[in-house]
């Protein structure tokens, strides 16, 4: 094995020509296989079986918990989440009644009171719930799970709906990380996507979180929205850098109006061209890295001392349905409408429609809509894709030892494609060790896709987002 090739997972290069050349769509690999491969053949009985396997000690590790809270007061036109628009808070009370049923059933199937190391409330808008409703939900979870003191407990925040008091309340409930939706600070862009949010509202929430002792504040931004220009987004990024969040997520807006109804209210003519989008991304990346943020991967940036940046340097970074994480190798128990979880070698997704979700629980069944059990090949490829997405490196020898295969034989079909990417300068490998080159970091999805057997074997109806 050659030792001359130096490698740092933090180093990256934005190669404009290469990105334009390899432009295309592909999965985000928050799981492998991806959710569009789940089928209705995976039933509630399969999920119950996997939970019981945990009980007999198949996996004694602490779990990650996810609760999907689908309600929003108003609709943001860019949104592709599973949400329900309403102003009626009593709907959340009914939802919590059902969520409580689901949590009890899952906890009973799993057996003893599980330890929880990670929790995430996603949506919708989790803070649509009143302080009392949030407290009720935390009490439901605490009744069935033991929250470890060193755990990571996060919630998504809409600053338009939350004041200082709620932030302090969340800290008292045990939350130690918040993710703040901003998207863009330009008033014209905000109006075009129906999310008008002042800088003051955003600062109120973030200042309160710091005062309340939150370990981490993350800000979500989107590029590719109507009326955005390189200059306008540069102003937003400048203001975000001044706020100095611990993490910044810079997501690419995927305009799929046939799939997501609210996006039909966005006028396609107002969207920036592909060229302008790349200008925006290139400039934003430069601004963030010059301000000292570490490029974690895909669309995530973090301060050098943040847990994600430390995990990247130490080779401990992982990926799950919430994106990059330090606890993604845990089983994830997911609750609520449309929630996706992972238990052992299986994935499961709950009913996507509220009525079907409620009906299943009324009938005394867990609301499983679809899922899959991974075979040996899926597990092998999942570990390879995880290594590429999170460590930007892959030891063929380690894979051979763990999985008992000959890498070159097993992946004979993939190797010529890897060599093509090597010739383009995306990666380097010498027969035993593969490293993603700095200019391949932004195109990591292209590298991962080579190992995606499902993508190769049959066409998917899924519409993936663009890789950049």
Q: Is 330 annotated as a binding residue?
A: no
| 195 annotated ligand-binding residue | yes
140 annotated as a binding-site residue: no
Residue 114 marked ligand-binding: no
Residue 311 marked as a ligand binder:
no
Residue 72, marked binder: yes
183 in a known ligand binding site = yes
Q: What is the 3-state secondary structure (H, E, C) of the chain?
A: CCCCCCCCCCCCCCCHHHHHHCCCECCCCCCCCCHHHCECCCCHHHHHHHHHHHHCCCCCCCEEEEEEECEECCCCCCCCCCCEECCCCHHHHHHHHHHHHHHHHHHHHHCCCEEEEEEEEEECCHHHCCHHHHHHHHHHHHHHEEEEEEEEEEEEECCCCCCHHHHHHHHHCCCCEEEEEEECCCHHHHHHCCCCCCHHHHHHHHHHHHHCCCCEEEEEEEECCCCCCHHHHHHHHHHHHHHCCCEEEEEECCCCCCCCHHHHHCCHHHCCCHHHHHHHHHHHHHHHHHCCCEEEECCEEECCCCHHHHHHHHCCCEEECCEEECCCCCCEEEECCCCEEEECCEEEEECCCHHHHHHHHHCCCCCEEEEEECCHHHHHHHHHHHHHHHHCEEEHHHHHHHHCCCHHHHCCCCHHHHHHHHHHCCEEECCCEEEECHHHHHHHHHHHHCCCHHHHHCCCCCCCCECC
Q: Is 191 annotated as a binding residue?
A: no
**Is 10 annotated as a binding-site member?**
no
Say if residue 76 carries a ligand binding annotation.
Answer: yes
Q: Is 220 annotated as a binding residue?
A: yes
Q: Is 164 labeled as ligand-binding?
A: no
Determine whether the annotation assigns residue 412 to a binding site: no
Residue with tokens 């789940």: 38
Q: Is 318 annotated as a binding residue?
A: no
Q: Is 254 annotated as a binding residue?
A: yes
Binding residues: 66, 72, 76, 78-80, 123-125, 156, 183, 195, 220, 254, 340
Binding residues for [4Fe-4S] cluster: 72, 76, 79
Binding residues for S-adenosyl-L-methionine: 66, 78-80, 123-125, 156, 183, 195, 220, 254, 340
């Amino acid at each position: 094995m050659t030792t001359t090739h130096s490698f740092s997972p933090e180093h990256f290069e934005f190669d404009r020509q290469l990105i334009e050349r390899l432009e295309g769509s592909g999965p985000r690999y928050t799981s492998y296989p991806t959710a569009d491969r789940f089928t209705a053949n995976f039933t509630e009985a399969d999920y119950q079986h996997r939970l019981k396997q945990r009980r007999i000690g198949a996996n004694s590790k602490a779990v990650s918990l996810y609760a999907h809270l689908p309600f929003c007061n108003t609709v943001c036109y860019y949104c592709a989440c599973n949400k329900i628009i309403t102003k009626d808070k009593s709907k959340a009370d009914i939802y919590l009644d059902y969520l409580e049923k689901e949590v009890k059933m899952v906890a009973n199937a799993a057996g003893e009171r599980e330890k929880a190391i990670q929790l995430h409330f996603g949506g919708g808008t989790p803070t649509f719930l009143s302080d009392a409703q949030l407290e009720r939900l935390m009490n439901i979870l605490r009744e069935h799970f033991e929250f470890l003191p060193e755990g990571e407990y996060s919630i998504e925040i809409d600053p338009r709906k939350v004041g200082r008091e709620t932030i302090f309340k969340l800290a008292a409930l045990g939350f130690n990380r918040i993710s703040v939706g901003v998207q863009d600070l330009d008033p014209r862009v905000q109006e075009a996507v129906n999310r008008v949010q002042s800088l003051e509202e955003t600062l109120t929430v973030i200042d309160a979180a710091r005062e309340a002792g939150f370990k981490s504040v993350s800000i979500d931004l989107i590029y590719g929205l109507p009326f955005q220009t390189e200059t306008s987004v540069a102003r937003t990024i400048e203001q975000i850098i001044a706020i100095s969040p611990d993490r910044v997520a810079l997501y690419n807006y995927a305009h799929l109006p046939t799939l997501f109804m609210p996006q039909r209210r966005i006028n396609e003519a107002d969207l920036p061209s592909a060229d302008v989008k790349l200008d925006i991304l290139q400039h934003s990346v430069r601004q963030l890295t010059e301000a000292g943020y570490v490029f974690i991967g895909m669309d995530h940036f973090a301060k050098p001392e943040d847990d994600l940046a430390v995990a990247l340097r130490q080779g401990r970074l992982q990926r799950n349905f919430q994106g990059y994480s330090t606890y993604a190798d845990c089983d994830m128990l997911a609750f609520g409408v449309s929630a996706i979880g992972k238990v052992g070698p299986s994935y499961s997704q709950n009913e996507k429609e509220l009525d079907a979700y409620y009906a299943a629980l009324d009938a005394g069944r867990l609301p499983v809509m679809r899922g899959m059990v991974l075979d040996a090949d899926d597990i092998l490829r999942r570990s390879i894709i995880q290594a590429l997405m999170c460590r930007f490196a892959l030891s063929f020898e380690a894979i051979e030892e763990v999985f008992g295969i000959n890498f070159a034989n097993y992946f004979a079909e993939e190797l010529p494609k890897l060599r093509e990417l090597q010739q383009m300068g995306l990666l380097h490998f010498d027969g035993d060790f593969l490293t993603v080159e700095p200019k391949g970091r932004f195109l990591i999805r292209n590298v991962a896709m080579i190992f995606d057997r499902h993508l190769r074997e049959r066409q998917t109806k899924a519409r993936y987002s663009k890789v950049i």
